[in-house]
Structure 1
Amino acid sequence: MTRSLLLATAAAVLVPSSAFAQQAQDDTLPEVVVTATRIPAIVEDTPGARVIDAATIEQRGAVFAADILADVPGLSVTRSGAFGGVAQVRMRGATPGKTLVLVDGAPVNDAAEPNGAYDFSGFDLGDIERIEVLSGPQSSLWGSDAIGGVIAFTTKEIDGLRAEAEAGSFDTVRGRIAVGRANETWALGGYVSRFDTDGISVADEANGNPEADGFENTTVGVRGRYAVSPTVKFDGSARWSQSEADLDNGFPISDNADRSESEQWSGVARATVQALGLEHQFSVSGSDIERQTFSAFGSVFEADRQAYRWQANGETGAATFAFGAEREESSGSISTGDSVDLGTSSVFATGRYQVSDALSVTGGLRFDDTDDFGSKTTGRISAAYELGYGFTLSGAWGTGFKAPSVSQAVCDFCFSSVPFPTLRPEKAEGYEAAIGWRSSDDRIEARATIYHLGVEDQITYFFDTTTFDSYYVNIAETATDSVELEGRAILGGGFDLSLAYAWTDAKDETTGIALARIPEHAGSATLGWTGDRLSGALTVRAEGEQRDTNSATAPVRDGFVTANLNAAYALNDNVTLTARVENLADEHYQQVLGYGEPGRSGYVGIRLRY
């Protein structure tokens, strides 16, 4: 970790939506609040918490979730192809299935994916108000799938008319229109987004693969709320998307005619009632995914999840708390076409106590009873202490678990002459400490974090080269140790700077080999500027080399440095012209070994607001 590497890498991950408006007025950084903790918490006091909001997404010119999540320290985003290639997130070294993804509170992980992981490739950000990232074991809050952490998306409430259009390299066209009405009593709005590109070759063109692979994505959504009275309110949202992507497969990866289609939706309906001195929330959420691959070995997989939740929030004196109960049910298809059902019933409680003006303590406890794999109790405790002179010391310890996925539960794609092993839920323990600093004039803030995450009984697909038996087994034990550095500053003259860097040592404890697709060094830096009419941001992102599989002889993907430039010019209050250039230096690089990424490319557009 050298000073030059830190300054050459980094990321804009914490600037909240009100930040840029406030900068123009008083040049200060506002306090950011995270809500995926079930009780609202200040980011500076919450280890592992980060917020990306709509203003930051717009400043960066990010189109899909994978475009911006890679800049969050502790997250490794792997994308198997630039447009429409499977994009998965590894949080704190944990495998992709150990990141829980929520959309307006609805869990959307793919139950039919072998590890239960979510594919971010077609997740359009046009309707997203904020992204909250909670790193580290969060099972005490959200149960299974949250060993690495949680990524929670919140959609926008629309008031007025919004439209935008963009065109550029690779015959790419993108459009979005949203309309809605909102007041104190009710709100209702909807939107449609469309993205279409001829793309580049999914297989790296430098390896002799000239065929362009296209990608199409459509996203439609609706969101509304209605206050019956000051004590009774209803709200809900629904989101549907459909994608078609040309693929390249094989060993090695090469041009072919393979393609995939996917369709997914998620939605939530919620009632909020003030009663007995508490705020009660009753919600029902659901998600459904269907994905089909057209190839020599084509397949169709379907999955759905439902969650029924009651949560009560309250406050008394120096204590803020929440407790409740949940029932989650999921089903997913396997290679035979059969559908497998899993379910979990849970109770939870979390609370924060303000011991003094300087010290706060937060704790949580959860009991999960799975239908097929027994029960598990998880907990988390954290504390934050204001040391004075702008410094805040915080720390956390927590446990997590993950029940076997649908594929693992029935041992899909397994072949064995002996009975398959009985699987146990994976379990984890993590702890971290952070020191943060905020200047007295609220223009600069920084945070340094160290953490450890250990996962035991990790489920691995095992293949015996002697007997040719293959099956899932609890065999692996992994550990991740890391240092994360991040900061942001208002520089004056309309300029702002955001930095982040992560050194990550993730390895298989049974073999000592570095875990696949997690670079040891990663980070980015964003220099933004906001004027009366012109605004923009230059982002430089870098990753070190990474192993492609969990094998001692695995090939290694080279490190890279790329830069993106995004700009906007406001003609008036209603019309803004936009332009962005990706891969400014025309760097040849790969996020995943064998898969191509675009060279220098440019896009221009227009944005309308009424």
Structure 2
Amino acid sequence: MKRLLFCTSALAALAAPAWAEEAEVLIADPLPEVVVTATRIPAIAQRTPGARVIDARAIEQRGALFAADILADVPGLSVVRSGAFGGPTQVRIRGANPGKTLVLVDGVPVNDAAEINGAYDFSGFELGDIQRIEVLSGPQSSLWGSDAIGGVIAFTTREVDGVRAEAEAGSFDTLRGRLAAGVATDTYAVGAWVSRFVTDGISAADEADGATETDGFDNTTIGARGRYALSATARIDGSVRWSRSEADIDGFPAPAFALADTPDRTEGEQWSGFARLSAEALGLSHQLSLSASDLVRDTIADFPFSFEANRQVWRWQADGAAGERLTYAFGAEREDTEGSVSTGAVEDLGTTSLFGVASVEATDRLSLTGALRWDDTDDFGSETTGRLSAALDLDGGFILSGAWGTGFKAPSISQAVCDFCFSAAPFPALTPERADSVEVALGWTAPDGRLDGRITVYRLNVEDQISYVFDPVTFDAVYVNIAETRTDGIEVEGRAALGGGFDLTVAYAWTNARDETTDARLLRVPEHAGSATLGWSGERLSGALTVRAEGDQDDAGGVRDGFVTANLNASYALTDQVSLTARIENLADARYQQVFGYGEPGRSAYVGVRLRY
């Protein structure tokens, strides 16, 4: 197959094993193929429309500490962060609201079942233990069921072999530390890690609006991962990840009910993990796993709230192949979720699913992939979703690929019980939201593999979207299926190996996301967004300069102005085991807002040390 066409601006370095040293591979070398595993069966990224991979080396080179720091550079993905340090942070893929992005950690769904839309909060998602991030844009319900209308973000934790430690200090009295240790052999592996981040922060409300109080953030993440080969054909593995965050936030105090300094704060605690048995039998590779996640979040304010949610998923999957051209997988799942609502009542939802996916090399140039899934919900009937994709090698290093897919999202627990609803009439009966999408991509790779790029054109339709409707005359407030949304978009991305250890990656997205009922633009989705990363790697010095820009976006309460910002990260290897690190964020000291009304830090600097054994 051809070499990797391109990745996002986050892919400023080559794919490398966990703990590999930067100097062992020159960035100027041709790019290898990058494999996507969140597709259920391994797939090559450049042949998979909407697939991007961010590896550990790219995360390190960019100096990204939290998931939101690097996800913002994925074309077509917008990060919504209400407060710079620890503020609620959600993502939208191709204009779909945050509840339509499924988040997986080691295959474990971690979306918040007690959140109104079922969305995941990325504010405390620290990257110290993450080996790779895979982003699949577009409906992926045929692979992963509900919550995947916009796409999937899959995180994989790293297997530790050795000892690694990091420490950093900088602006806003920020302190950060990481420690990981483990051992890995062909027979077994066991490792653990801990990360700590604390800062005094800045005011969550923009200081330009008169806010002066600093809002701090405190985050701790602990995890462990292991595997053991029971025999030549069977093994067990598993992982567990726990995190706790405390963040000062600002609220909307009476009588103006405008964003301002308040003593409000949030506390959140989450753990997730899985245990899996893998075995060869009947000519197939079988995996039987149990995954679980549990989340508690509290808001301490004039109107306090406390929510708790948990999820368990039993999954069996069998992988097989027929000759060298056909690979396939099929299986079954049972998912149970439980969550509390504002009244303190606890509700639950459940789904039983069957799925199958297959990929065939029809010719030496043409590959076809299809997926089909049936989900039977306990409360909202059954849904069948599918996806077809194809990739065709053309002459001159071009690859033409495309995909068509459908998706659905069952109502969340809050929507199902009509939490925060007020009406004298019976609450409307909700149905699942449905989506369909089509995309076409053209990619090109230079003969020497040092220059590549891809352009993707897509359309995403969402029908029966669930909206919260308030009637100012009757004061009724309910959830109803009324909205229809459409997103038309173009995503452009490319990479050039410039020689001398330098490379350049660029990404741009035009996203036209609208409510088909009113023709209004969807909130918090910039029409134009892009980034460029210049990376370098030498014998001792490596780093990256990233410039990111977003256009104006409509927001609740006004229009958030567009902005341009830049970050610089570098490391210098004193020895094979010791490196000094430095990073500067908001290099030009730009004043901007990511979300209307919420300020972002000015220029800030951080220095640290990294140890590896």
Please give the TM-score of this superposition, normalised by the length of structure 2: 0.96
Query: How much has 1:452 moved relative to structure 2?
Result: 0.3
Query: How much has 1:16 moved relative to structure 2?
Result: 4.2
1:269 match: 275
2:608 match: 605
Query: How much has 1:22 moved relative to structure 2?
Result: 7.0
**Which letter does structure 2 place at the counterpart of 1:109?**
N
Question: What are the residue-to-residue correspondences of 1:324-363 with 2, within 5 Å?
Answer: 324-363=331-370
Query: How much has 1:25 moved relative to structure 2?
Result: 8.1
* Structure 2 unaligned regions, length at least 5: 1-7
2:472 match: 465
1:577 match: 580
CA deviation profile, 1:301-329 (whole Å, cap 9, x unmatched): 00000000000000112110000000000
2:248 match: 246
Question: What are the residue-to-residue correspondences of 1:501-580 with 2, within 5 Å?
Answer: 501-549=508-556, 554-580=557-583
Query: How much has 1:362 moved relative to structure 2?
Result: 0.1
Query: How much has 1:388 moved relative to structure 2?
Result: 1.8
* Correspondence 1:483 to 2:481: no
- Given the alignment, which residue of 10, 13, 26 partners 1:12? 10
2:181 match: 179
2:308 match: 302
Q: Distance in 1 between matches of 2:604 and 2:548?
A: 16
CA deviation profile, 1:475-501 (whole Å, cap 9, x unmatched): 000000001100011100010111000
- Given the alignment, which residue of 210, 222, 228 partners 2:212? 210
Q: Distance in 2 between matches of 1:14 and 1:91?
A: 22
Q: Distance in 2 between matches of 1:88 and 1:507?
A: 19
Query: How much has 1:17 moved relative to structure 2?
Result: 2.5
**Which letter does structure 1 place at the counterpart of 2:39?**
T
Which secondary structure does the structure 1 equivalent of 2:544 belong to? strand
2:203 match: 201
Query: How much has 1:13 moved relative to structure 2?
Result: 3.8
Query: How much has 1:590 moved relative to structure 2?
Result: 0.5
* Structure 1 unaligned regions, length at least 5: 1-9
**Which letter does structure 2 place at the counterpart of 1:300?**
S
Over 3 Å counting, the alpha-carbon distance change for 1:388 and 1:74 in structure 2 is: same
**Which letter does structure 2 place at the counterpart of 1:299?**
F
1:48 match: 50
Contact 1:495 1:527 in 2 (8 A): yes
Query: How much has 1:12 moved relative to structure 2?
Result: 2.7
- In the comparison of the two structures, how many residue pairs are matched? 597
**Which letter does structure 2 place at the counterpart of 1:370?**
T
Q: Distance in 1 between matches of 2:511 and 2:25?
A: 33
Contact 1:517 1:547 in 2 (8 A): yes
Q: Distance in 2 between matches of 1:531 and 1:53?
A: 19
Contact 1:248 1:254 in 2 (8 A): yes
Coordinate RMSD, CA, aligned: 1.1
**Which letter does structure 2 place at the counterpart of 1:239?**
R
Q: Distance in 1 between matches of 2:497 and 2:16?
A: 14
Which secondary structure does the structure 2 equivalent of 1:376 belong to? strand
* Correspondence 1:594 to 2:603: no
Over 3 Å counting, the alpha-carbon distance change for 1:22 and 1:360 in structure 2 is: farther
Query: How much has 1:30 moved relative to structure 2?
Result: 1.2
Contact 2:593 2:600 in 1 (8 A): yes
1:421 match: 428
Which secondary structure does the structure 2 equivalent of 1:189 belong to? strand
**Which letter does structure 2 place at the counterpart of 1:528?**
G
Q: Distance in 1 between matches of 2:432 and 2:554?
A: 27
Contact 1:243 1:261 in 2 (8 A): yes
Which secondary structure does the structure 2 equivalent of 1:66 belong to? helix
Over 3 Å counting, the alpha-carbon distance change for 1:25 and 1:558 in structure 2 is: closer
Which secondary structure does the structure 1 equivalent of 2:61 belong to? helix
Which secondary structure does the structure 1 equivalent of 2:132 belong to? strand
2:70 match: 68
Query: How much has 1:296 moved relative to structure 2?
Result: 0.6
Q: Distance in 2 between matches of 1:47 and 1:141?
A: 14
Over 3 Å counting, the alpha-carbon distance change for 1:349 and 1:399 in structure 2 is: same
**Which letter does structure 1 place at the counterpart of 2:561?**
D
Contact 1:321 1:351 in 2 (8 A): yes
Contact 2:194 2:221 in 1 (8 A): yes
Query: How much has 1:62 moved relative to structure 2?
Result: 0.3
Q: Distance in 2 between matches of 1:237 and 1:457?
A: 37
The structure 1 segments of at least 4 consecutive aligned residues displaced by more than 6 Å after TM superposition are none
Contact 2:503 2:535 in 1 (8 A): yes
CA deviation profile, 1:76-113 (whole Å, cap 9, x unmatched): 10100000000000011100000000000000000000
Which secondary structure does the structure 2 equivalent of 1:236 belong to? strand
Q: Distance in 1 between matches of 2:232 and 2:458?
A: 43
Contact 1:127 1:156 in 2 (8 A): yes
CA deviation profile, 1:513-539 (whole Å, cap 9, x unmatched): 000000000010000111100111100
- Given the alignment, which residue of 400, 407, 427 partners 1:393? 400
Contact 2:585 2:604 in 1 (8 A): yes
Query: How much has 1:184 moved relative to structure 2?
Result: 0.3
Q: Distance in 2 between matches of 1:605 and 1:594?
A: 32
* Correspondence 1:28 to 2:14: no
Deviates more, 1:564-573 or 1:201-210: 201-210
